[in-house]
Amino acid sequence: MDLKGKHFLKMLDFTPEEINGLVDLSLRLKDEKKSGKSQAAYLAGKNIALIFEKTSTRTRCSFEVAAHDMGAHVTYLDPSGSQIGKKESIADTARVLGRMYDGIEYRGFEQEKVEALAKFAGVPVWNGLTNESHPTQMIADMMTIKEHFGKLKGIKFVYMGDARYNMGNSLMVTCAKLGMDFVACTNEKYFPEKWLVEKCEEIAKETGATITLTSDVAAGCKDADVIYTDVWVSMGEPDAVWEERIKELSPYQVNAEAFSYAKPNAKFMHCLPAFHDLNTTIGLQIHDKFGIDCMEVTDEIFESERSIVFDEAENRMHSIKAVMYATLGDVR
């Protein structure tokens, strides 16, 4: 795997070897951190810009901690703290930041923005989430599956809920690349876009993966190793869609019934944040309006032994470290 100087924008850009290489590097970096080995020389003296046009807990903290551990410095630009888009184009911003920083993380709306940033920056650009994709989350998710199952190839991975947004898209591509059995189990209105499904089917022919789209929960979840979900309304979508989403996606909530069809040791995953109880402002508002006390996953499943969501969240940091080290450092 030689990714030095490359951008990290979407999973379609990477070979199975490169993705597996990043997963294995993440696992190595996690072991090093747990054993107390210093990683401060890996990116010593590098400067990194973190641009967030949407809010974040995991991604921002992962980039910051990963950079600090590896000896790099960060500047955080919050959703209101820069001129981007409002007074200055992406192309101009990229050319300014590229003169000062060695690498740039960008979280925003359209994928074309992060692609434009990469085109003009002259330094590696990492996609910290767009409407269309969430590639750093993929390395953490695959790393977490490998830790729990010892392998990726042949894993039956079921995604329930909104499968046509960043998480569903990226997971389908990643599973296709890694020879996994991907199932989008949801209302057909929320299946990933046709062109992407066709692309993944082509990739699957090479890797031995399978791609299945179904609206039948029993068939979709049958013998699953992993059941995954995400919020039903993503950042940047209007509040007006909540009612429709709740109606259309409630049959695809991850709950005890979904797991009754899965393998006995099946695991629950979620990129987080999750609406599994009433301890959030939005969760409470939805409860008051629609009378439900959880959404994409029940609290019972979220809090169960099956749930590996906090391993997954921790692994965001180790895997983002791997992405930055591989594209900016000299991996040895």
Under DSSP, the state recorded for 1 is: -
Active-site residue, 164 included: no
H/E stretch holding 216 reads: none
Query: Which segments of 130-193 does DSSP mark as H helices, in order?
Result: 135-149, 166-177
The single residue among 38, 57, 260, 285 that binds ligand CP, judged by CB under 6 A, is 57
| Separation of alpha carbons 220 and 308, rounded Å | 21
Minimal distance in Å, beta carbon 37 to ligand NVA? 30
User: Judged by CB, which is closer to ligand CP: 113, or 204?
Assistant: 113
- Is 58 marked as a binding-site residue? yes
111 catalytic per annotation:
no
Among candidate residues 84, 86, 66, the one with its CA nearest the CA of residue 74 = 66
Give CA–CA dist 299/301, Å, rounded: 6
Cα dist from 88 to 85, 92, 117, whole Å = 5, 6, 12
Q: Is 245 a catalytic residue?
A: no
Q: Can 175 be counted among the known catalytic residues? A: no
102, 141, 225, 230: the catalytic one is 230
The catalytic position among 69, 102, 137, 181 is 137
137 counts as catalytic: yes
Q: How far is CA 7 from CA 10, 35, 123, 155, 323, in A?
A: 9, 30, 8, 28, 9
The answer on whether 272 is annotated among ligand-binding residues is yes
Q: Is residue 129 involved in binding ligand CP (CB under 6 A)? A: yes
Query: Binding ligand CP by CB under 6 A: which of 20, 82, 93, 137?
Result: 137
Residue with the CB atom nearest ligand NVA in the bound state: 234
The one catalytic residue in 7, 60, 107, 245 is: 107
> What's the min distance (Å) between Cβ of 234 and ligand NVA?
3
Is there a catalytic annotation at residue 271?
Answer: yes
131 is an annotated ligand-binding site residue: no
136 known ligand binder: yes
Tell me which residues are annotated as active site.
Answer: 107, 134, 137, 230, 271, 316
